[in-house]
Structure 1
Amino acid sequence: MSSFRRYRGRTVTAGLGIVAVLAAAACTNDSSASEPGSPGSSLTTALNDVVHSGFPGVQAVITDANGQRTVTAGVGDLATGAPITDDARVRIGSNTKTFVSTVLLQLVAEGKVELDAPVERYLPGVVQGNGNDGNRVTVRQLLQHTSGLPEYLGGGNPELRAAANTPQLEVNTDAVRWRHYEPAELVAIAMSMPPQFEPGAKSVYTNTNYILLGMLIERVTGRSTAAEIGGRIIEPLGLRETYFPDRGETGIRGPHPRGYQETDGKRVDFTDQDPSWGDTAGAMVSTAADINRFFTALLTGKLLPAAQLEQMKKTVPFDRMPGAGYGLGLIHLPVSCGKEVWGHGGSIPGFETRNGVTADGRAVTISVNQLPTDDATAEIVVKAFDAAVCE
């Protein structure tokens, strides 16, 4: 189990950001200049830069030997000016993949799944058509994005393609916002396209892989992947603010900021949506504190035997982040101070998180309530994460 207690840390408000009413909400406790988030610190500056670049709000939660600190800037609700609360829940996007990979590797440890077995063994007849062949793709290749399978978000369905990467595509994501997708439907969309490359030739981040892994977990265990995540991770670690949305659930339970999306040049409140298009590749909800607890427990051996954790950390170059390595649902993240950092991160319309844990035990999660609109604004969020890790 995680050795960290439920949130009992101090809160610092980094700055006024873009809405002056934050002054009324800036409840700060004593902090020294050496602490992350204290006035004049590099983290405070980095969070204010995030807001000044156009994000409504940003939250940093840092958990280490000194306890837990929450630092915020900007607002969680543009209509009211309310800040992002310490216990705010957000959609965590692709961090869902690490929960899925952890469950899968637990099944490997139990002898129920073999990493290098073909997918066809567990999902007969599912991966086939247009050159796709489940006999030639292994479970490991799904976990590490080396399968070569097509991306269901990448073509054949413009609505899903828009949801995956709206800033680069002028398609209204509202078209997919309330649409419910079943996992088999997402896989069928992928199988309507040819493979991207030969299995094992390289690594290209592909959400189809983790939809299939969710289906595989259900086939092997006889229970939903959500139930397996709940029983194997959420309940044992006491992640009381973390959950996999129920079928048709469009809101976020409990306290949460509003999540915004720039669509056709306009900022839209995109908080409520049916996240089934992300399913086991990106549908979960959590808090930054729970994310820190989960990744800390994972990396300190509380969820996996040493052999499986070692497999999880064997990386290939990550095509979406120069200098990073992708393991089995876990990313080795580059930072300016040279620390060893493992985490993941996630994006979904309305929210983005950047998170990781250092070798010396500092866990960091940065959350923003709007997706970056381009590479430059994405880099500003990365710099905030770097400041929180390295300060």
Structure 2
Amino acid sequence: MIEYSSFVLDNGLKVFVHEDRTTSMAALNILYDVGSKDEVVTKTGFAHLFEHLMFGGSKHIPSYDEALQKAGGENNAFTSPDITNYYITIPANNIETAFWLESDRMMALSFDPKVLEVQRSVVIEEFKQRYLNQPYGDVWLKLRPLAYKEHSYKWATIGKEISHIEEATMDDVRDFFYSYYLPNNAYMVVAGNVTLEQVKKLSEKWFAPIPSGTRRKRNIPAEPKQTAARFEQTEAKVPLDALYKTYHMGGKLSADFYSTDLVSDILGRGKSSRLYDKLVQEKKMFSSLNAYIMSSVDPGLLVIDGKLSKGVQLKDADDAISELIEKFTQEQFSEKELNKVKNQAESTLLFGEVEVLNRAMNLAYAAMLGDPEIVNREAANIQKVTTADISRVAKTVLQPENCSTLYYKSI
């Protein structure tokens, strides 16, 4: 249970406070309700580029990292299709430094052309190193547009292509900032050895003066129901052939989200899972094989991926997965097997909340979804899933016509 208090500043910034006297540290987490899904198809990668630009200095603080390190703090950030998240961990007695740093770049980010050029180069290099020049790195550059035809999940967070980052202008950057990096589009969680009154005082001092703005209206096309299987094959210099299969599923707030998550766990979580037991250990067709969900806010994907054993043909491996899944959808599931994956999922959830920073992140995400109490209902939602739910969801989601398959062939 994550206990919290909350308040909203006049400019719309939503603030949550989670007090924990057992630690000497504090975390300040700011989640902006913007991700790569908010981009347009001709200008992708901006949310991720902006994550980098936010560390390039602000009006009063030319070196963000240097100022934070002097106070004993650490920071980082990440971008997803749904959100951009920035966080600081710092000794609690220096928490005001975090307020100062985050408020200054929310109010007065540096639009220095030199910073844009530096960060543009960093992102382009990341694109090349992580996505183009790394074995299997371009998988999601191919899988997303195969699985999605309308929704803006069809491009990766890094962007659809390098040229969009190469051609980004300062006007593009300013427009993105003033459309999304607004106090009324942000959720701030302060967690650790702090008090509600302390956070209220510091929030009023550092964030209240920042004016609210008009957030760009979100107009993302819904993904049509997939009615026919899709297939693509690619080749690259990789160690082993690989196979990827995606199935459309509901979003984070859908009624069957947790049931689908547990279906993926039964199929491919760990060495006792169905796929691993049958196709890795018994038949030795794969050297590794997993199933998982993307946990998207909007309707997402259940994914199966694996690296093939030497000498196994991709078509044979694909047929073996399809055969296992067909049997899986016809089964009556046991309470014992379901309880095993429920307990695994709940233990992962609880273990993840040991760190105060993770609690702060989880609370911010739940608040962005529309109800901070979601963070405290997850364990119960996992335990509510029944064997009947598993059977129904398996039959609904794991249909051949709902599947997109990518063969990644080694050359």
Q: TM-score, normalised by structure 1?
A: 0.28
Q: TM-score, normalised by structure 2?
A: 0.27
Q: Which has the larger radius of gyration?
A: 2
Structure with higher helix content: 2
